[in-house]
């Protein structure tokens, strides 16, 4: 007999089955957020504020302080690269 997934159990659907790890999900989310922000021309000040707040919250969720710095660096690099490609 198989296991059933609740329809609104997004953690199980997206994290456990789609990526397999909560850390990978967080990095994928930051990369996707950075891409969308650069593509639609979000200002640097607003983007960095949202990135820092999100990185701190995700770092607390994971429980590793080093991930905060990595998320900020990865997000900012993706934002700048996509921003240069779009303009």
Which of 78, 84, 87 is closest to 35 using CA atoms?
78
The CA distance from 74 to 62, in Å, is: 16
Mean pLDDT of the region 20-41 = 83
Burial of 46: CB neighbours in 10 Å, binned 0-12, 13-18, 19+: exposed
Percentage of the chain exceeding pLDDT 70: 84
- How far, in Å, CA of 87 to CA of 79, rounded? 12
What's the whole-model pTM score? 0.69
pLDDT at 45: 92
What is the C-alpha separation between 34 and 32, in angstroms, rounded? 5
Domain range annotation of the chain:
10-86
- The confidence band for 87, taking pLDDT boundaries of 50, 70 and 90, is low
How much is the pLDDT for 26?
80
């Amino acid at each position: 007999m198989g296991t059933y997934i609740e329809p609104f159990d997004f953690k199980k659907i997206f994290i456990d089955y789609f990526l397999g790890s909560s850390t990978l999900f967080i990095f994928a989310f930051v990369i996707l957020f950075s891409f969308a922000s650069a593509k639609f021309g979000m200002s640097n000040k607003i983007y960095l504020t949202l990135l820092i707040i999100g990185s701190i919250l995700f770092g607390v969720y994971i429980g590793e302080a080093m991930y905060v710095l990595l998320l900020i660096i990865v997000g900012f690099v993706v934002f700048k690269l996509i921003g240069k490609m779009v303009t």
